[in-house]
Amino acid sequence: MNDTFYGVISPGNPVKDKQVEELMKKYKDRINDVETKTAPLAVVKKLVDIEAYPMNRIAKIHLTILEQNCRHMPTYRGEKITLQFYKVLHNGKSRLYYDEFSTFGESMFQLYFEQPTMLIVFDEKLDLVESGSLLFDYDYTFLRGITASDSTNESLDLINYLAMIDSFETLIEEGKGRLGLLGDKW
C-alpha cells in the first residue's frame, strides 16, 4: 500500500504561520490555558463513558488505513503505531455526540455495529486519531487546552488547537454544514 492520505482524519482548516497571532487574538476567549495538559484518555473519560473494543474485530484494511493516516499526522516521528479502540457508551453523557453521529453516520466503523455506535481510536504517542464526531473532537481539543509553552513557542499543539476552533467557529458563523443541521441540540 502506498502512503496516500485517505481522509479518515479530518484535520480542520490549515493554519499558516502568520495566521497564528491573528487567530490567537480572534479566539482569545476560546483558549483554555492550562498549566499541564491532562492525559488524553482522562479527557475522553471526562467527556464520555467508554469501554475497550477489541482490535481483532477491525478489518485489516481499516487498520492499514488508520496506520497510514497516522504516518501523515504532523506529530508522527517514525515511532511504532499502537492503536487502541474504545466504544463510546450511549448514555446521557454522550447524547450530544450521538445526536451528531446519528445524523451524519460518517464513521468507517459503523459496519461493525447494528446501531449507530461511536468508536474512538487512539495512539499513545500521537493522541486522538479518529472519533467520527466533530463536536467530540472540538470538546476534546478544548479540554486538553494550551500551555504557556505552547503559546510562547507557537507549537504544533497550538496550531492544531486554533485550526480546530477556527473550523468549528466557521461552521457556526456560516450557519450551515454539519452543525447547522443539528439545530438547537448543541
Reported as a single tens digit per residue, the pLDDT across 160-181 is 888 888 888 877 777 655 555 5
Cα dihedral 13, 85, 55, 99 sign: negative
Average pLDDT, the chain: 80
| Contact status, residue 116 vs residue 123, Cβ threshold 8 Å | no
Overall average pLDDT of the 49-66 stretch? 92
Overall average pLDDT of the 150-162 stretch? 85
- Could you give the CA distance from residue 59 to residue 105 in angstroms, rounded to a whole number? 19
Q: Looking at per-residue confidence, does 78 or 105 come out higher?
A: 78
Q: How confident is the model at residue 20 (pLDDT cuts 50, 70, 90)?
A: confident
Overall average pLDDT of the 36-57 stretch? 93
Give pLDDT, residue 157: 85
In this prediction the pTM is 0.78
Domain edges within the chain? 15-37+145-186, 38-132
For 18, phi then psi, to 5°, come to -70, -10
Count CA atoms within 13 Å of residue 20 on its CB side.
Answer: 15
> What is the helix (H) or strand (E) element at residue 100, kind and residue range?
helix 95-104
- Could you give the CA distance from residue 118 to residue 105 in angstroms, rounded to a whole number? 9
Q: Is the pLDDT of residue 6 over 60?
A: no
Reported as a single tens digit per residue, the pLDDT across 92-139 is 999 998 888 777 766 667 777 888 888 899 887 888 768 878 889 889
Number of other CB atoms surrounding residue 175 within 10 Å: 8
Give pLDDT, residue 108: 62
Q: Is the pLDDT of residue 10 over 60?
A: no
